[in-house]
Structure 1
Amino acid sequence: MNRAGISKSRAGASRHAVPMILVTGATGTIGSEVVRQLAARGEKVRALTRDPSRLDTPPGVEVVRGDFLDPESVDSALAGAKAAFLVAVLGPDTRPDVDLISRARAAGVSRLVKLSAIGTGDPEVGPGGTWHVPGEEALRAGGADWTVLRPSTFASNTLSWADPIRSGEPVPNLTGDGRQGVVDPRDVAEVAVAALLDPRHAGRTYTLTGPEPITAPDQATVLADVLGRPVRSLDLTADQVRSHLQGSGMPEPYMRGVLAGTSYVRAGRNDVITDDVRQVLGRRARTYREWAEDHREAFR
């Protein structure tokens, strides 16, 4: 692969006869899985990332370097694409999200699938609840087929617990006894793939959750059972949550959004379960236990 700029297609990509699908955020939790699942189906995939060296893609995937703040690189990545999976740079500045949608339409991309978040538009969520709103509005206002995905919290978020689990420390619980429909990222990606390939999902907004509402201590209990060792959780106060986020180097505007979001969950407002995964995929959503069993080695 040519790491210096836009990479050449990997072997065999030119032999595909199907339309090109662009996946933005291709190194992310969902984007990387969307790339993998599309490639497994034999689709022609172009993966957009700021750092191609971080991508380990299947054969046949074209990897391109691009940055949302570099319009020319985005336009180049969109050229020839018939569908696109859009992952915004989440935060208070919503302009890159809206601009990406505008550029996709200008490039003639006829099917757009946007990764949003559960609770978008709900003022109770706090600042984070507004970050996807302009992008969703821009998506619905245009002429291309569109689908919005609003997943609940990812099961993979508990990978941040790996170090304390290995060292026997308690894992930080930022959300108290607030229950959430924790969703497996593989299910989110599979729904995204269905929306990219099947026009029947056009004009739909899917709220994607797991099959059961669980708390952070519940997740710790599941991990303890799967790993065969104790996993304790430590309930953090609001001030401790702030200190925890500050310690991670999170900028203040993002921290305000996360603090409001964790309070929203702690108050029980994200105790939401839907059947959207089953409706799209024809099977139930994976449980947190299933995710933990498939990722146990990450905690050892």
Structure 2
Amino acid sequence: MILVTGATGTIGSDVVRQLAARGAKVRALSRDPAKSRVPSSVQTVPGHHRDRASVEAAMAGAEAAFLVGVLGPDDAGHDRGLVEAARAAGVRRIVKLSAIGTGETRLGAFATWHLPGEEAVRDSGLQWTVLRPSSFASNTLAWAAAVREGTPAPNMLGDGKQGVVDPRDVAEIAAAALLDPGHAGRTYTLTGPETLGAHEQAAVLGEVIGRPVPLHDFSPEERREQFLAAGLGETYADSLMAAARFIHEGGNDVVTEDLPKVLGRPARTYRQWAEDHRHAFAPAV
């Protein structure tokens, strides 16, 4: 049995599908199992990474677990708790979803969010793998409403280049690491095959959908106001502001070979992702 936490998220939902397609026994942890769209063979259980009791119940009988425990700056304790629950339940193999730049001092507080969880994973005594993906190609779904309406899409993080990675590739590596102990003890930094800025992504998306995708570039002051207006709080907003500066200064202008080495094929490009998701940007009929 393989437990997938964050089973309805960007990566977790695809990990569930890929494991099920390979014939694995999968248990999906979801806050609302009734609304989970999973293959019929997948067992769904209620719970959330911040609810320790539900995590412990979900871990029972699992041999491997995919751990998604950081959604914001206040999740370090819950992230460690996932590892502790896995050990207590007798789980043998864990795969933690982390983030590129973890531990990078120039990135500021954002770089510390995953550190306690990563340390807990490495100290767990279990077979472990850590995945540090770069910016997801799917982040541009935040532009979809504006693109459908024909208005400038919000560019919240500036135009620094990033090794934009397809979430499906990250999920494929997660599934491989959950099934194969040969990935134990590895930390993979996962990027796409090239680095792109937001305007370069918009240009690619425009070519794919056949119409321009203009962006509205938020100033740092506007950006912080938007973060606060979204209810993220001062700490969260400041962390994201530091991340935006880091990206603007080229800190995330990185391409690695981890993904193609593990999968034995090139990483998907942003263009491939856009072509496969063009329907999300289609004008309402």
Q: Is contact 2:173-2:262 (8 Å) kept? A: yes
Is 1:112 aligned to 2:94, yes or no? yes
Match for 2:247 among 261, 265, 270? 265
Runs of 4+ residues over 3 Å off in structure 1: none
Select 2:174's aligned residue among 192, 214, 217: 192
What is the aligned-residue RMSD (CA, Å)? 1.1
- 5 Å matches for 1:140-219? 140-219=122-201
By how many angstroms is 1:182 displaced? Answer: 0.3
1:77 matched residue in structure 2: 58
- Structure-to-structure mapping, 1:53-72, within 5 angstroms: 53-72=34-53
Structure 1 residues without counterparts, runs of 5 or longer:
1-19
Is the contact between residue 65 and residue 73 of structure 1 (CA under 8 Å) also seen in structure 2? yes
TM-score for both structures, normalised by structure 1: 0.91
Residue identity over aligned pairs, in percent, reads 61
Query: 1:102-144: per-residue Cα shift (whole Å, max 9, x none)?
Result: 1101111000000000000011111111000000001101210
SS in 2 for 1:85: strand
Answer with 52-61 or 182-191: which moved more.
Answer: 52-61
What whole-Å deviation, never above 9, does each CA across 1:5-50 have from its counterpart, x for those lacking one? xxxxxxxxxxxxxxx0000000100000000000011100000011
Distance in 2 of aligned mates of 1:151 and 1:141: 21
**Which moves more between the two structures, 95-104 or 48-57?**
48-57
Aligned to 2:83: 101
- Residue 262 of structure 2 is matched in structure 1 by 280
Q: Structure 1 residue 77: deviation in Å? A: 0.4
Superposition pairs of residues 28-67 of structure 1, within 5 angstroms: 28-67=9-48
1:246 deviates by 2.6
- Is residue 220 of structure 1 aligned with residue 202 of structure 2? yes
* Pairing 1:255–2:237 present: yes
CA distance in structure 2 between the partners assigned to 1:265 and 1:152 by the alignment: 11
Q: Contact 1:209–1:274 (CA<8 Å) still a contact in 2?
A: yes
What's the TM-score, normalizing by structure 2?
Answer: 0.96
Partner in structure 2 of residue 232 of structure 1? 214
